[in-house]
């Protein structure tokens, strides 16, 4: 690693791994469920209007965009990996407690992004009884566009 | 929507491909018009300044379509347990995407009948997102 390519993963950055945010309350909203179903073109009877159930992808409406609570080490970032896990369906109107943590930070040299940093965060959603409902994991590849080869993606 | 049963599924079974046509309006509506989002999803000119050929299709919209794709295949008594995807290339609005999938494993796990699928979005025949989905199917027994 040359001087120019000195590691960006300082002790301060590494110390972010494993830190859990304070719980934030999110609400499963009918309007989000309806809007997303309509865009997707989803006619699945399990989460149709009036069932009281929201589709699994309603998780995307919980403010859990990948950049939330994510440390930015490089000027640009692209979502490169994502995972959703579900223990049970979302109930319209219910409130869930969400906690997020940085689960991993890695550095990569070379490739299309040049010197990049991969930051993975995971958010867990629990119901009022403390039961796990769902989790969302995202990896953002952060890079400097000026140094990326042939432009990022 | 018909029900698929664990006993009727075989490794290497292929899902019928489904075509989607993403638009910038869909991206905006998916997140909600009053909610913040990456301007590259809504504004083709902004996206072009980043070197893309048009407005980007959000990953969240694509993973949602993949979720729907597997749920439609599996049927109303299935339970999608997880989906994991890798975004390989950007997708551009107003260019068709084809969802494809294949069964790669079936097993009993903790009393559940789990089917594992590989799913992908293809643009001009090239994969742009690759994913792995685990879904629990009911048994005929």
B28 within some domain? no
Name residues 99-138 of chain B within 8 A of A (Cβ).
none
* pLDDT number for residue A69: 58
User: pLDDT tens per residue, chain B (141 residues)?
Assistant: 899 999 999 999 999 999 999 999 999 999 888 877 788 888 888 888 877 888 999 999 999 999 999 999 999 999 999 999 999 999 999 999 999 999 999 999 999 999 999 999 999 999 999 999 999 999 998
Q: Is residue B112 part of a domain?
A: yes
Compute CA A67 distance to the chain's CA centroid, rounded to the nearest angstrom.
7
B107 forms bridges with which residues in the sheet? B114
Q: Supply the CATH number for residue A76's domain.
A: 3.10.129.10
Token pair of A54 as six digits: 């929201």
pLDDT at A126 over 80: yes
Q: Domain for residue B68, yes or no?
A: yes
Residue-wise pLDDT tens digits, A97-118: 999 999 999 998 877 778 899 9
Q: In the prediction, which pLDDT does A71 show?
A: 75
Instruction: Say if A150 falls within a structural domain.
Output: no
CATH number for the domain that contains residue B127: 3.10.129.10
Residue A1 lies in a domain: no
Domain housing B75: 6-22+57-136
State the greatest distance between any 2 C-alpha atoms of chain B, in Å, as a whole number.
58
The complex scores an ipTM of 0.94
Number of domains in chain B: 1
Model pTM score: 0.91
Residues constituting chain A = 153
Say how many domains are in chain A. Answer: 1
Distance set, CA B79 to CA A85, A108, B114 (Å) = 11, 36, 9
The torsion region of residue B125 among left (phi > 0), alpha (psi -120 to 50) and beta comes to: left
Token look-up 């993973």 returns B63
Partner-chain residue, chosen from B64, B71, B82, that has the shortest CB–CB distance to A83 = B82
A60 → closest Cβ in B51, B60, B71: B60
- Considering the domain boundaries, does residue B46 fall inside one? no
For residues B79 and A66, the model is more confident at B79
For A65, the domain range is 11-143
């Amino acid at each position: 690693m040359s001087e120019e390519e000195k590691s960006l993963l300082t002790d301060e950055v590494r110390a972010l791994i494993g830190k859990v945010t304070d719980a934030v309350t999110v609400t499963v909203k009918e309007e989000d469920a309806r809007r997303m179903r309509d865009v997707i073109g989803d006619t699945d009877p399990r989460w149709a209007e009036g069932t009281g159930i929201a589709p699994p992808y309603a998780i995307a409406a919980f403010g859990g965009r990948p950049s939330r609570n994510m440390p930015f080490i490089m000027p640009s970032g692209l979502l490169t990996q994502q995972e959703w896990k579900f223990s049970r369906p979302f109930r319209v109107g219910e409130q869930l407690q969400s906690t997020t943590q940085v689960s991993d930070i890695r550095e990569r040299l070379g490739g299309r992004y040049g010197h990049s940093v991969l930051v993975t965060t995971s958010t867990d959603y629990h119901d009022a009884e403390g039961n796990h409902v769902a989790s969302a994991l995202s990896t953002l590849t952060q890079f400097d566009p000026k140094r990326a080869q042939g432009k990022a993606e | 929507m018909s029900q698929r049963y664990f006993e009727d599924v075989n490794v290497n079974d292929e899902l019928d491909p489904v075509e989607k046509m993403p638009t910038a309006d869909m991206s905006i509506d998916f997140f909600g018009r009053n909610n913040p989002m990456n301007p590259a999803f809504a504004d083709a000119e902004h996206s072009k300044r980043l070197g893309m050929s048009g407005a980007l299709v959000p990953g969240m919209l694509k993973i949602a379509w993949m979720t729907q794709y597997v749920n439609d295949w599996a049927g109303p008594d299935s339970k999608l347990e997880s989906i994991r995807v890798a975004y390989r290339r950007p997708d551009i609005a107003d260019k068709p995407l084809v969802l494809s999938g294949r069964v790669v494993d079936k097993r009993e796990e903790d009393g559940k009948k789990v089917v594992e699928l590989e799913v992908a979005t293809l643009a001009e025949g090239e994969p742009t997102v690759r994913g792995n989905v685990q879904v629990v199917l009911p048994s005929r027994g």
